[in-house]
Every structure is written in structure tokens, then in C-alpha cells.
Structure 1
């Protein structure tokens, strides 16, 4: 009898993806770096998402960094130097803020959607607030009408991190269409993959053209705006027209191979998202709500992984929970998205001091008693039943 196991990730790279890659490799005089396939993916992604423009990059983290660098370049009021962020997010969101010279301002999250507490966001908005960088964690929607109205009224930028929530929506519009800029990750285990990769999406033409410049060494010619390019050539007559570098940045380009995979994966994204969501609904329905939190807000969700939040606050019982998962070969991550409370991470020690963790009770709960385990389109209901049975039999 085959030993039971449940890995965190299943192979998201298909035989049809390999076929598309082979088609490119068999061509004569092939260009494998950024070229026509990248442009094709950007257009198809924009159409799927419902935005005008998208820029394909080499990771979701790169998308984060370029997005905040864009804010830095376009920010006319240098006194506006604070960006509000959730305590539960991926490290690159925070690092992008710090590396671009802004101050991260942290808020707690809600247990029902693992996203930032918007009431706290509103309270922390002040004259220095430039933007709110929201993370739609693990497929949940983090937006509501109130926060959108407040940000619009106060003219504060909304940046959306949708790296774990492809296809999730609010008010019948996909997440990633509300912010002035949105970021997606196509990492190996996400809703769709280019193995490594990410996307910056926007409806703003100037942001789009700048994002292409910042993606590729800061070169003017990458904007593909002939009028702008001509203007810069005339301004910098002493420079070679093909080598005018406007901003200090790096190479964040992706490849034709990654784009070909992305184009192919996009065909099945909606179908796979429905399977993920169905899996999550089943998982939550049968999970013992006396032991585990199950009051998640599923409206508009597009699940990435199964979140588990223990109701106990006892560390001995928590350790027993982990031992049971390990015994049954169920791979897990404690702390949920990004490992829990970012305020506890060493990289922030010199930037954030005198932290009162009692002000962040929900993320603290997730940090010590929150987990996620794998969900993927190929996962069968019969296996979910087995997983739930193992979880429900754990004694707390």
C-alpha cells in the first residue's frame, strides 16, 4: 500500500507547456530573450485581467520593486514618504518600500480574509501617506467599498499585490484592476506559472512605459514611445541614442520560453481556479470548527493554498499538531503567507523599533498558530477527505 503523503506543491508544468517550449527551440535563428512572445503574453494577460497594459518581468518580487520605484519617480511631494502595508505579506513588498527610501507603516490583518484591517489603514492615513500597498493573500479579496472611497477622496495611491490571488474578484471586477499598479507572480506553485516570473499591470500609459524602461536597465528605447525617445535623444545629444539610461535600475526581463509557457498556462487558468475554489470550499466545510477557524470570507476568492488557523493558544498542543502532520507526510508552512508577522523578522530591526505586538493580535495569532497546506487543481476530493480526517482526529 502506497504511503500517504501530501506535498505543498504539485507539478504545475504540463506536457503541453513542454510542447510549446519545444516549438520555440526548433525554430531557426531563434531569439530566446525578451521578444515577440513576451509581447504576446503581455497583451493576452491584459485582456484576461481587464486592464490596458502589462509588463512581464522575471519574478513577482521584481514586479513589487519596480512598482514602488515607479511611485518614487512619479512622486512630486517628497514629504509624502509613507506607505501603509499589512503585517502578513511577502518580504519583497516591504523590502521594495525600504529599498526605495520609503517608510513602511504596518497594520494588523483580519482572520476572515488574511488581508489588512482597512479600519486601521484609514486611521493611520496622514499627510505623509503616499500609498497603500495591499496584499490579497492566499486567494482572498482584501478590498471593500469603504477603503476604495477613502483612498480616492484623499488621493492616495492603491498598489495591489495579487501574487497569490489570480482570478479573485471584488464587485465583479478582478483584483488587480483597482490599483493604479498591480503585481502578479507566476512562481512555480501559483495559479499559473512561467516557472519564475511576474507581471506589472496598469491602466496608466505613462506608468506602463516607465515600467518597461525600469525593467531593462533604465534604457529609454525600451519604452517603445518614439516621441519620448526622440525627445530624450535631443536632450542628451552627447550620448549614443541606443544607450541612454534614465534611472538607476537593473535587468528584470524575462524570456521567450517563460512567455510561451505563460501563454499556454493562461488557457486553463479559469478552469483551474474553479477547481482550486471547489477544493477549498470542501476543505472548510468538513474541517472541525471546534478546533480550527473556518469563518473565512469566500466571496470572490480564488484559493491558492488551504489556510489553517488553530483555535488553541497552547504551544504544546500546537507542537502536537505539527508532529501529526509530519508523521502523516503532510507538508506545511507555519505563519501562513510569508512566514507570519513581518515585524518579527530580523531585516526590519534597524527600521522599526519599540514594537508593541499586542497591537497586532490577529497576525500574532497567525504567526504562532496559523498554517497553510497545499491545494492544486489535480487534488482529488477523496484525498481532501483523508487530509480533513487526519486533521479532525488531532487532539487539542
Structure 2
């Protein structure tokens, strides 16, 4: 990412710092939450200190609502999606990916749902949509909650609705390299007032007064007359609040998000249309995308070619990340191997291909067409081994 905190963002911060001495969560956080909700198309949003905290609170709220059970999770995602499931006592059920959108395989989801399934925690990877009408109808018929991780896909759409509006809850990350950045930060979104109030309590130590529901607060106070009314802790929760400074940046960045997303999608089309499809995968479902980073995946399984590709990219000065989202196949990571010893990697061939032979390359609004074409030309000229 380049220039993701603009001069205008910095000037807004300077102006704010000169006018106030109050920096912790207050009116600007509330304003950012409301503006984000309106932009996304949901009723409620809760601003937290990271996308990982958004994951954690989402799963904590699900546990309060549904109790223990299984949650279907992606094999290609950031660690905090799966960690939040484990930390809340759910059993993660791993799902292989669809290579055309890098999200969870719809067929695998349908096969692995059981009477113990509480939710499907689906990640929209690199700005691609991971939903279909068939999947949404299936989950509804089974009364299974959908939780959306949209951390890499701000503004991406399915049937002209933004991703993050289809599930019971959705998560966003505002880390430095993402579409919208508050440097660090995240958002949880929902259309449920009850969940919204639970999330606000979970964000701030589990305190009842954080719910914003005076009727509920008074009921709990009357049931706990031996406690100070301002310090009643309903849940063993967290302190993952964000602050006014980062809200100021978020509000300002939101003004240019749509424009930047259009550039990102245009950049992706240039990249895929000029990449050699005989060497690299180019057949992605790009409808409604809001690209986070260019997918670069070798067609053939060859460690010799992979090593050659990495050597050439390093020499040419192309920054890359192997494994795409989260470093590739999460079930190969030590934390999974140590906890779940009966998982067979051979059962997940699609994500394992990405793990070994897939990369992403940075995409950002100030990236020029000339530079993208130069990268494609270089990649296409690499002479791989047979």
C-alpha cells in the first residue's frame, strides 16, 4: 500500500488535536459508526480497535445467543477468524475453497453442515464475492447463521448489495493496507438491535451501561441492588474500544472510498487481462469485486517454477506474499496442528495449491496502468521449467 493516510487525513487530525483534549471513545466514534452503517446499508455498527477484535466479539456474541457447537470456517483466511472460533469454545469445521473466488466451497459447506452447526463464518477473500443465491437459500432453509468476514472486501457487492449486509453479523478491518484505513481498527455490523447492544457491552468490559438501552439497564440494576449502578459487568468481556483520532481518519477516508474502490477494480481487470493465462490463473468470478490485491497463482504444481518465480520477483523488485490471505492453508499452521491432529491436508487440495503456488501483489488507488502492464510483461516473460 502507498499513501493510504493522506495529507488531508493528517490535516483533519491536526485540526481536531488543536480543538479538544478528549481523545477516548466519544462523539466522533459514534459519528463514524453511523456514517459507516449508512454507507454499508445496515442499521448498526460498532467500532473496535482491530478486525481481529471484531472477529472475537462476533463469535462471543454468537456464543451468548446460541451456546456451544460447530462453526464452519475457511481454510484460506486470516488467523483471527479461526482463533476467535476456538477462543469462544466452538469447534471449527474446515472448508476447502472455490478457486474462482478463493472463498469457501459451496458444495463443501452443504456437505459439512450438521445438527451441531451454529454458523458459517465465510471470508470474502481479496475483494471477491463468496456468496450465491443457492447458498443463502440453503442456509436459510437449515436455519444456520451466516457471519461475513469482509476485511479484504470493502464495497464488494453481490446482487447489487454490499457484502457485509447478508449475514447475522459482519466484520471489517481498517488496518493500514486495507481499502479504508484508520491505521488500526475494525467494525462489526448487524441489523439486530439486541446484538448491537450485546456487542457494545462486550467492547467495554461487559458493562451494562454501555448497552445504550436504559430499560434493560434499569432492569439489571434492580436485580443487582448490591452493586454500584455504573459498574455492573454482564459478561466476562474485553476492552477493545477505539478512539476519537482513528474515528476522525475513518470519517475522512469514507468520503473517497467509493472512488478508490472503482480504481482498484479497474486495476484488477488490467492485471488479469494482460496476464498469460497459460502460466497463471486468470479465470476468477470478478462480478461486483472490490479488489484488495492482485491474485497471482501458478497453473501448474511445480516447486521449481515457484522458486524461480519468487527469485525473479525479488530481483525485479515486486513485493509479494505467498499463500494469499493469511499465509495460505491455515490447517498447516502450528496452532491447528497442535489442537486438531486428525485433520488430513489431502482433503483440502484447492487451498493447498494456493498455499504453495499462490501469491498476492499489492493493488492501491495510486497504482498506474503503466506500472501494472510492466509487472504483467515481466511475469509473462519468465521461462518456466516444463
Range into which the TM-score falls when normalised by the shorter chain:
over 0.9
1:351 Cα deviation from its structure 2 partner: 2.3
- 1:203 equivalenced with 2:206 (yes/no): no
1:354 Cα deviation from its structure 2 partner: 2.5
Task: Pick from 52, 65, 69 the counterpart of residue 74 of structure 1.
Answer: 65
Can you list the C-alpha shifts for 1:254-293, whole angstroms capped at 9, x where unaligned?
0100000000000000000000000000000000001000
Can you list the C-alpha shifts for 1:330-372, whole angstroms capped at 9, x where unaligned?
1110000000100000011232222222221110100000000
- 1:234 equivalenced with 2:226 (yes/no): no
Can you list the C-alpha shifts for 1:151-206, whole angstroms capped at 9, x where unaligned?
11111110000000000010111000000000000000000100000000000000
2:303 corresponds in structure 1 to: 315
Question: Aligned runs of 1:1-396 on 2, under 5 Å?
Answer: 9-28=1-20, 30-75=21-66, 78=68, 81-396=69-384
Can you list the C-alpha shifts for 1:320-339, whole angstroms capped at 9, x where unaligned?
00000000111110000000
Provide the TM-score with structure 1 as the length reference. Answer: 0.96
1:3 corresponds in structure 2 to: none
1:75 Cα deviation from its structure 2 partner: 1.1
Distance, in Å, in 1 between the alignment partners of 2:85 and 2:238 is 17
Tell me the C-alpha RMSD between the 2 structures. 0.8
Can you list the C-alpha shifts for 1:122-157, whole angstroms capped at 9, x where unaligned?
110110000000000000000001110011111111
Provide the TM-score with structure 2 as the length reference. Answer: 0.98
1:31 Cα deviation from its structure 2 partner: 1.2
Can you list the C-alpha shifts for 1:69-114, whole angstroms capped at 9, x where unaligned?
00101115x4xx0000111011000000000000000110011100
Unaligned 5+ runs, structure 1: 1-8
Distance, in Å, in 2 between the alignment partners of 1:120 and 1:167 is 26
Specify the SS of the correspondent of 1:106: strand
1:211 Cα deviation from its structure 2 partner: 0.4
Instruction: Count matched residues.
Output: 384
Distance, in Å, in 2 between the alignment partners of 1:221 and 1:23 is 31
1:10 Cα deviation from its structure 2 partner: 1.2
Query: Is the contact made by 2:332 and 2:345 (CA closer than 8 Å) also made in structure 1?
Result: no
Distance, in Å, in 2 between the alignment partners of 1:369 and 1:317 is 9
Distance, in Å, in 2 between the alignment partners of 1:214 and 1:356 is 36
Kindly report structure 1 stretches of 4+ aligned residues shifted beyond 3 Å: none
